[in-house]
Chains A and B, each alone.
Chain A
Amino acid sequence: DAKTTQPNSMESNEEEPVHLPCNHSTISGTDYIHWYRQLPSQGPEYVIHGLTSNVNNRMASLAIAEDRKSSTLILHRATLRDAAVYYCILRARETSGSRLTFGEGTQLTVNP
């Protein structure tokens, strides 16, 4: 699996936007970019994924660089409940059944 690089930690204030970066310079043309998050004492939770185009859903937006070597997860208005570890993961398209390899992720702290 291609490697991703994320900052170890980030801080944000409540109700402000948060931009979580991820570098994946060795991404291949068929790798999907996935984001998961893990709240304290819970299992990981799917956030969003994309291939080439920017993606939006009810939880977040995913902005993918034109060369696909980096991406940014955008939380439009952070809440205290968004405090979690956020994982950026690459998944090869041919990988069966969403086999995912998790890195260390970014610990997001949201200040009231």
Chain B
Amino acid sequence: DAGVIQSPRHEVTEMGQEVTLRCKPISGHDYLFWYRQTMMRGLELLIYFNNNVPIDDSGMPEDRFSAKMPNASFSTLKIQPSEPRDSAVYFCASTLMANTGELFFGEGSRLTVL
């Protein structure tokens, strides 16, 4: 299995631009998570989905952030408009409901907003 696949791995953009991060979870997994990691705040859970339905988006920082999961094999995290404080590494992770503990993380998307 290829694992959780994220794209792009690196993105540099200017303030005000729209950013879209993509994630392909492991086939058959029914939970998908978006995390953000910064030096100041560590790893934060932004939102998670179960069977493509958003369950908890309380970690989404503000309305500029949105996430979708149109099908079981694809999710996007969108920032519009982006700001320098959004610079971080964004991780996607997936797991199976029956799984008692193992989250599988992607390699992350490093976002720099100038």
Q: Which residues of A contact B (CB under 8 A)?
A: 32, 34, 36, 42-46, 49, 87, 91, 96-104
Contact B91 A44 (CB under 8 A): yes
Contact A49 B93 (CB under 8 A): no
A-B pair number, CB within 8 angstroms: 58
Q: How far is the CB of A25 from chain B (nearest CB, A)?
A: 21
Cα–Cα, bound, A49→B102 (Å): 8
Q: What are 28 of the A-B contact pairs (CB < 8 Å)?
A: A32-B100, A32-B101, A34-B101, A42-B108, A43-B91, A43-B93, A43-B105, A43-B106, A43-B107, A44-B43, A44-B103, A44-B105, A45-B105, A46-B101, A49-B102, A96-B50, A97-B30, A97-B97, A97-B99, A98-B101, A98-B102, A98-B103, A99-B33, A99-B48, A100-B103, A102-B42, A102-B43, A104-B42
Known A103-B42, A104-B42; contact A98-B105, beta-carbon cutoff 8 A: no
Contact B48 A46 (CB under 8 A): no
Closest to B103 in A: A98
Interface residues of B, count at CB 8 A: 26
Closest to B96 in A: A97
Closest to A36 in B: B103
Contact A97 B105 (CB under 8 A): no
Contact A101 B45 (CB under 8 A): yes
B55 at the interface (CB under 8 A from A): yes
What are the residues of chain A within 8 A of B91 when measuring CB–CB? Answer: 43-44
B31's partner among A42, A97, A101 (CB-CB below 8 A) is A97
